[in-house]
Amino acid sequence: MSLVVVHVPAQRSEERIDEILPEELGLVVFLLPAKVRVTVERVIVNKWLDRYGNCHWVILIYARDYALLIDNSHPLPAPHIISPFALTGSLMKHAKPGTPTTSSKKARADFFSTHPSRADHFTESVIREMTRLAMKYNAINLAQGFPDFPCPVELKEAACDAVRADWNQYAITWGAVSLREALARRVKEYNGMSFGPETEITVTCGSTEAMMASMLALIQPGDEVIVPEPFYENYGPDAQISGAVPRYVSLGDDFSIDEETWKSAFTNKSRAIILNTPNNPTGKVFSKKELAFIADLCIDHDVIAITDEIYEHILYDGKKHVSIGSLDGMQDRTITIGSFSKTYSITGWRVGYALAAEPLTARIRKIHDFLTVGAPAPLQEACVAALMLPESYYRGLVSEYDRKRRILFSGLRKAGFACELPEGAYYIFTDVSGFGMTDTEFARFLVEKIGVAAVPGSSFYDAGGETKLRFTFSKKDGTLHDACERLERLDEPVRNS
Ligand code: GLN
């Protein structure tokens, strides 16, 4: 009897599993991340076993750190590990006997078997995929967090002026001097932290690059990185790419911190913790007390805090933003990441930044330089104008988002979603267990049949989240009203399906 161990790397692995069925099935062991559980079980139970009755046993292993298990350095004997793309030749068989072989499939399988890559260990972004599906089905996109309304006119003018004034060539790799100086002033005022523009500020291509460059600058393969869960989707792949071993620490149902759980997540292998406040997807705003508790753990265990504060200006009900880097003892062990994307409604400009003490910044800048050379030069100039906007701009932003938050919240509640008003950021993280579908099934159903795109909750968890769905309210009031109207009709198709 043959033993085949199949490593299933991707969440949307249905076609791939179909593609790689071995001729002679004996004992088949699927090694897969817990995340793909629902898809894989459905495929196997409904289709696969049925079709291939000669498979005696199927063992599913849901591995939390499965990427480590498939790493070459793992003690499992290498020949037993067969990635879907590594099954070639006599083992390769098509899903339906008689289906003609396509040479491109074979060529792809051959290519991947001889060219394994770190990119095989994570999926494409589900958030961005939902945007593509929204376009395909002409659905209202409440999936990806970006505004469908214009940015402030001052910024548009500043960007046009910068192009006309020929700011068209590379800026200094770590950022235009005018922008770094303006940032230093603003961060001192709003976040209560001092950073020297010459040595402690790096302008990046959005906060996405700032996070990736920070992790690449800090992490040695095998270092543990603590990631509170649920977390913004990017942090998982960021950990994979940088070689970090993620240690997920769950927030309570009310997103509170269980101190004992957090303490036990910090070990002598911990190198960094990734924080995100206000949080995407939950809207949680960490209080000063909670951050002080985390800061003490960082100091005791010599851990660096990498803190994504992209929603720092989007706070409701009088909540205050606190930067962990401003707390005692944290200035030198914190990388504070920010961006112009959300505060000024310019997600496509790709201008963000990383703030850190000189030794950390020196490393971040090297990685940043070789990744991107720099963020768009004219748009950096225009971002200086953003930092000159009066305080009333920020108050207006909050009151606009507060209204939008309430529109979406009441629409979701009416349509039967269980949810709370978020404390910050621009998402509502709902519980959909009442609808009788998994998150991915429900998200697909919503985008195809109801015309509203949302993000499946499992995108924000290493394991779990199948009862959650995230909606953004970063849209015009009219867009939100239309979406709510569609969602209210939800009852019918769900009942009839
Ligand atoms: N942060 C936004 C979200 O969570 C957009 C992410 C992105 O696609 N860069 O939807």
Which of these, 381, 13, 21, 329, lies nearest to 176 by C-alpha position?
381
Measured from the Cβ of residue 320, the count of other Cβ atoms closer than 10 Å reads: 8
- Residue 280 Cβ < 6 Å to ligand 1: yes
Atom 4 of ligand 1, residue of closest alpha carbon: 145
- Predicted TM-score of the model (pTM): 0.80
The per-residue pLDDT for 258 is 94
Please tell me whether residues 355 and 233 are part of one structural domain: yes
Please tell me whether residues 213 and 341 are part of one structural domain: yes
CA of 132 to the centre of ligand 1 (A): 13
Please tell me whether residues 355 and 481 are part of one structural domain: no
The per-residue pLDDT for 457 is 96
- Residue 144 Cβ < 6 Å to ligand 1: yes
Domain boundary among 359, 387, 415: 387
- Residue 348 Cβ < 6 Å to ligand 1: no
Strand order in the sheet with 57-63: 57-63, 27-33, 3-7, 81-82
DSSP three-state, residue 28: strand
- Residue 459 Cβ < 6 Å to ligand 1: no
For the chain, the domain total comes to: 3
Please tell me whether residues 403 and 477 are part of one structural domain: yes
- Ligand 1: atom nearest CA of 144 is 10
Atom 1 of ligand 1, residue of closest alpha carbon: 145
- Residue 279 Cβ < 6 Å to ligand 1: no
Atom 5 of ligand 1, residue of closest alpha carbon: 145
How many Å apart are CA 419 and CA 472, to the nearest integer?
13
Please tell me whether residues 133 and 116 are part of one structural domain: no
The per-residue pLDDT for 283 is 98
The per-residue pLDDT for 440 is 94
Q: Which domain holds residue 235?
A: 153-387
Please tell me whether residues 141 and 242 are part of one structural domain: no
Burial class of residue 421 in the structure, from the number of CB atoms within 10 Å of its CB (0-12 exposed, 13-18 middle, 19+ buried):
middle
- Residue 458 Cβ < 6 Å to ligand 1: no
CA of 481 to the centre of ligand 1 (A): 22
Dihedral pair phi/psi, residue 136, rounded to 5°: -60, -45
Please tell me whether residues 341 and 227 are part of one structural domain: yes
Q: What is the DSSP string of 158-215?
A: HHHHHHHTT--SPPPTT--HHHHHHHHHHHHHHH-----TTTSEEEESHHHHHHHHHH
Residue numbers of the chain with a pLDDT score lower than 50: 1-2, 9-15, 21, 23-26, 45-46, 48-57, 62-101
Tokens linked to 273: 């913790």
Domain boundary among 356, 387, 418: 387
Atom 3 of ligand 1, residue of closest alpha carbon: 145
